[in-house]
């Protein structure tokens, strides 16, 4: 068991072309969102710089949903991710 991270098409060049990545959550069955993203980064290093800056902060116009809620409305990168959770990385509606 674990969680699944879904990636937008714009980031799939940095994920080896895959749209989703299964992340094991270990014996406890839970990880903070930052830990899930760390695991994602260890597999696909360049993904990390697209989603977070070098200080580990989420980029301003990248939204990360844990199940149905954007993480900033929860506990941010400390939001717990549990077995069966779906994590969706999505570019925000921004730009011009």
Partner 1 sequence: MAYLLVIGTRKGLFTARSDDRKRWEVDGPHRLDPVDFANMMGSYAVGIDPHTRRILVGSESSHFGPSVWFSDDLGATWQEPKEQPIAFPPDTDTSFTRVWQFAFTDKPGVVYAGVEPHGLFRSTDGGESYEIVRALYDHPHRPEWMPGAGGAAIHTILPGRVTANGTDPHAMTVAMSTGGVYRTVDDGASWTPVNKGIRAGFQPDEYPEFNQCVHKVAVASDGVFFLQNHHGVYRTEDPAAGWTSIADGLPSDFGFAMVAHPHVPGTVLNFPVISQEVHLPADHKLRAFRTDDGGGSWRSVSAGLPTDPYYGIVLRDAACTDGADVPGFYFGTRSGDVFATTDESAEWQQVVGHLPDVLCVRAVEV
Supply 68's token pair. 């149905």
Is residue 37 close enough to count as binding partner 1 by CB under 8 A? Answer: no
Binding test (CB under 8 A) with partner 1, winner from 34, 62, 70, 74: 62
Residue 84 CB partners (closer than 8 Å, separation 6+): 1, 3
- What is the biggest distance separating any 2 CA atoms in the chain, rounded to whole angstroms? 45
Handedness of CA 49, 53, 56, 59 (dihedral sign): negative
Regarding 13 and contact with partner 1 (CB under 8 A), the answer is yes
| Region near partner 1 per CB under 8 A, out of 18-26, 29-37, 40-48, 69-77 | 40-48
**Contact flag: residue 71 with partner 1 (CB under 8 A):** no
Is 34 among the residues that bind partner 1 (CB under 8 A)?
Answer: no
Name the residue nearer to partner 1 (CB basis): 33 or 52: 52
Burial of 28 (0-12, 13-18, 19+ CB in 10 A): exposed
- Provide the binding-site residues for partner 1, judged by CB under 8 A: 9-13, 45-46, 48-51, 53-55, 57, 59, 61-62, 91-92, 94-95
């Amino acid at each position: 068991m674990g969680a699944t991270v879904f990636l937008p098409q714009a980031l799939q060049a940095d994920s080896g072309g895959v749209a989703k990545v299964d992340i094991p959550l270990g014996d406890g069955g839970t990880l903070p969102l930052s830990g899930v993203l760390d695991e994602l980064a260890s597999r696909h290093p360049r993904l990390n710089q697209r989603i977070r800056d070098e200080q580990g902060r989420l980029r301003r116009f990248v939204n990360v949903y844990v199940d149905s809620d954007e993480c900033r409305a929860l506990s941010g990168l400390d939001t717990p991710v549990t077995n069966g959770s779906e994590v969706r990385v999505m570019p925000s509606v921004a730009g011009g």
